[in-house]
Structure 1
Amino acid sequence: MGLLLASVTVSTAAQENVTDNASNTTPSPTAQSPASSAEFWFNQMSTALRELNFEATLVKSSGSRLEPMTWLHGVYQDGLEVELVVRLNGADVRSVRIGDDTSYYSQPSDSSYTLHSDVTYGLLPAAFYQPFEALQPHYQVRVDRGMRVTGRATYFIRILSRNNDRYHYGLWIDRSSGMLLKMQMTTPQGEVLEQIQLTTFSERESMPISLSDLRGVPRPPRLHEIRNLEAPQYGVQAQWLPAGFELLRASHRRIAGTQLATDHFLYTDGLTEVSIYVSNRQQQALPELAIQGPESLFNLNLGEHAITVVGKLPATTLERIAQSVQADSE
Structure 2
Amino acid sequence: MRATVLLLFLGGLLAMPVQAADALVWVKRLSDVEQRQSFQGTFVYERNGVFSTHEIWHRADPGGAVRERLLQLDGPRQEVSRIDGVTQCIAGGMAGQLGGGPLWPARKFNAADLASWYDLRMLGESRIAGRDAMVIALVPRDQYRYGFELHIDQQTGLPLKSLLLNEKGQILERLQFTRVSIDTPDDAALQPSADCQAIRASKPEVSAKVPWHSEWVPPGFTLDGVSMQRSPVSEDQVASFDYGDGLARFSIFVEPLHGAKVDDARTQLGPTAVVAKRLNTDDGGMMVTVVGEIPSGTAERIAMSVRPQAQGAAAQ
TM-score range, shorter chain: 0.7 to 0.9
Structure 1 residues 209 and 323, CA, compared in 2 at 3 Å: closer, same or farther? Answer: closer
Give me the CA root mean square deviation: 3.6
Work out whether 1:246 is the aligned partner of 2:222: yes
When normalised by structure 2's length, the TM-score is 0.75
The answer to whether 1:169 aligns with 2:148 is yes
1:320 corresponding residue in structure 2: 301
User: Within the alignment, does 1:306 sit opposite 2:287 as a pair?
Assistant: yes
The whole-number CA distance in structure 2 between the counterparts of 1:45 and 1:144 is 16
Q: For each residue in 1:179-221, what CA deviation from the matched residue of structure 2 results, as whole angstroms up to 9, or x when unmatched?
A: 21100111122121111010101223xx23355876xxxx956
What TM-score, normalized by structure 1, do the two folds share? Answer: 0.72
Q: How does 1:1-330 map to 2 (within 5 A)?
A: 33-76=18-61, 80-89=65-74, 90-97=76-83, 100=84, 102-107=86-91, 119-120=101-102, 122-124=103-105, 126=107, 129-204=108-183, 207-210=184-187, 223-227=201-205, 232=210, 235-247=211-223, 248-251=225-228, 253-254=230-231, 256-257=232-233, 262-278=238-254, 279-280=256-257, 282-283=259-260, 285-291=262-268, 293-303=270-280, 304-329=285-310, 330=313
**Identity fraction in percent:** 24
Give structure 1 stretches of 5+ with no counterpart: 1-29
Letter in 2 for 1:124: P
Distance 1:297 1:56 in 2: 31
Distance in 2 (CA, whole Å) between partners of 1:68 and 1:213 is 18
Partner amino acid, structure 2, of 1:285: V
3-state secondary structure, aligned to 2:116: coil
Q: Distance in 2 between matches of 1:213 and 1:285?
A: 44
* Conservation of the 8 A alpha-carbon contact between 1:231 and 1:252: no
Residues in 2 aligned to 1:306 and 1:81: alpha-carbon distance in whole angstroms: 36
Preserved contact between residue 251 and residue 265 of structure 1 (Cα < 8 Å): no
Q: What's the CA shift string for 1:133-157, capped at 9, x where partnerless?
A: 3423322311121332223332111
Give 3-state SS (helix, strand or coil) of 1:40's partner.
Answer: helix
Helix, strand or coil at the partner of 1:44: helix
Separation (CA, whole Å) in 2 of partners of 1:230 and 1:291: 31
Q: Distance in 2 between matches of 1:290 and 1:174?
A: 35
C-alpha spacing 1:105/1:243, structure 2 compared with 1 (3 Å): same
SS in structure 2 of the partner of residue 251 of structure 1: strand
User: Which residue does 2:8 correspond to in 1?
Assistant: none
CA distance in 2, matches of 1:92, 1:33: 45
CA distance in 2, matches of 1:212, 1:257: 36
| Separation of aligned partners in 1, 2:38 and 2:172 | 29
Aligned counterparts of 1:211 and 1:229: Cα–Cα separation in 2 = 39
Structure 1: which amino acid aligns with 2:135?
Answer: F
Cα distance change, pair 174–321 in 1 and its aligned pair in 2 (3 A)? same
Query: For the residues of structure 2 that align with 1:249 and 1:262, how far apart are their CA atoms?
Result: 11
SS at match of 1:33: helix
How many residue pairs match? The answer is 283
Q: Which amino acid aligns with 2:89?
A: Y
3-state SS of the aligned residue for 1:38?
A: helix
How far apart, in 1, do the equivalents of 2:64 and 2:227 lie? 34
Unaligned runs of 5+ residues in structure 2 are 1-14, 192-196
Of 79-88 and 190-199, deviating more is 79-88
